[in-house]
Amino acid sequence: MVTFGVFGDWDKTYDLHGTMLEEESEIYVNAEGPRQLYAEAGALKRTSFWNGTYYDITSFSGFSRFDPWQNVRIWAFLRTGDQIDYSNDRLGEGINAEIGTNFKVGRHVNGEVNVNYRDLDVNGGTLFEAYQYDLRLNYQFNLLSYIRFIVQYTDIERNTELYNKPVDSMFRGLRTELLYAYKLNPQSLLYVGYTDRGKRDDSLDEFQKDNRKVFLKLSYAFQI
């Protein structure tokens, strides 16, 4: 059985001096069905204050998720319409899209994969295109401990002629993290991990590591 719903809201936001920062109205329709299906589509109209100027924004979005198999979930999100170019103080049109999945394999392994895409078109052409790929894997040894591995890759292309200030025409970023966590008691957690980060831009011909960390952290929750 599939059920349907409609919801929306209207709100205004002011700063401490009484300046309106945002006025927003939105409406959505949704549907729920078998296999944990949830789908939503809607429209948003917003007036936003940025750097001394009010911008009128209209955008449309859609989201859906479902479980095609046991222990597997897939989702997708899309927003298209007006967006503020915060770097150059103007209005453009852009797309923000995401597709992802999380899964569980057996009793110990679970993970998540996300792919994000963004672009922004302004007068003169496409200002930038950006992709981000995110992979997370977890191995749960038992109720007290687990290990987690993260890889995140970012790829950005910019049209430098459309920027008011000098920027790199491209950026590539790669971040990895390995974390082990152990629950000492119900209030205490011990974390041991390693993370590094590398990048490539107009000044670099290849990836270069610019950050490496080994860390140890003890977390304790006090009860009052």
pLDDT digits 0-9 by tens, 182-215? 998 888 899 999 999 999 999 998 889 888 999 9
> What pLDDT does 223 receive?
65
DSSP 141: -
Per-residue model confidence as pLDDT tens digits over 45-87: 999 999 999 999 999 999 999 999 999 999 999 999 999 999 9
User: b vs e for 9-45, b when ≥16 Cβ sit within 10 Å of the residue's Cβ?
Assistant: eeeeeeeeeeeeeebeebebebeeeeeeeebbebebb
Mean pLDDT in residue range 104-121: 97
**Domain extent for 211:** 70-220
Please report where in the chains the tokens 């610019």 appear, as a residue: 210
The verdict on 45 and 137 lying in the same domain is: no
Asked whether residue 63 is domain-assigned, the answer is: no
> What pLDDT does 49 receive?
96
Mean pLDDT in residue range 139-163: 97
Per-residue model confidence as pLDDT tens digits over 96-107: 999 999 999 999
The verdict on 1 and 84 lying in the same domain is: no
Please report where in the chains the tokens 């750097």 appear, as a residue: 51
The verdict on 19 and 100 lying in the same domain is: no
> What pLDDT does 63 receive?
98
The verdict on 38 and 77 lying in the same domain is: no
Paired tokens of 169: 């025409």
The C-alpha atoms of residue 94 and residue 80 are separated, in whole angstroms, by 6
Asked whether residue 64 is domain-assigned, the answer is: no
pTM: 0.89
> What pLDDT does 176 receive?
97
